Amino acid sequence: MITGLDHVQLAAPPGSEGALRAFYTGVLGMTELPKPTALAARGGCWFAAGPVRLHLGVETTGFRPARKAHPGLRVTGIDACAARLEAHGTPVTWDHALPGHRRFHCADPVGNRLEFLEPDGPAPWP
């Protein structure tokens, strides 16, 4: 039985760790988690914010950012979140199609799609 979600992994090209760290810790305020020694040699980096875990793993050949697949990150203060991203040069695209939520999408420094959402009323599902 599934009991929870441990993490979401996104791909990144070799050598992008510095840009990823600047974005995920500096812009989004996440904390970098140390990778186990056996996995650290593969490159990439892991981040957390409360119970949310994002792993960015190096794709050594044929990296393509996720354009449709994405983590949905629940936030508080979505307007401030969008303003912070834009102030750091990351454009956001608002999407009003999800009932009961305000949400937008953006791309991380390597082009992976991210969704940020905040409830603003009852959702039509449990």
- By the 8 A CB rule, do 12 and 109 touch? no
At residue 44 the predicted structure's pLDDT band, cuts being 50, 70 and 90, is very high
Can you give the residue ranges of every domain in the chain?
8-119
pLDDT digits (tens, 9 = 90+) for 9-33: 999 999 999 999 999 999 999 999 9
Cα 71 from Cα 121, distance rounded (Å): 21
Which CATH class for the 8-119 domain? alpha beta
pLDDT digits (tens, 9 = 90+) for 89-102: 999 999 999 999 99
How many Cα atoms sit within 13 Å of 10 on the Cβ side? 29
Q: How many residues does the chain have?
A: 126
- pLDDT given at position 126: 65
Tell whether pTM > 0.85.
Answer: yes
- pLDDT given at position 13: 97
- Checking if the pLDDT of 113 tops 70, the result is yes
- Checking if the pLDDT of 45 tops 90, the result is yes
Structure tokens at 41: 């040699």
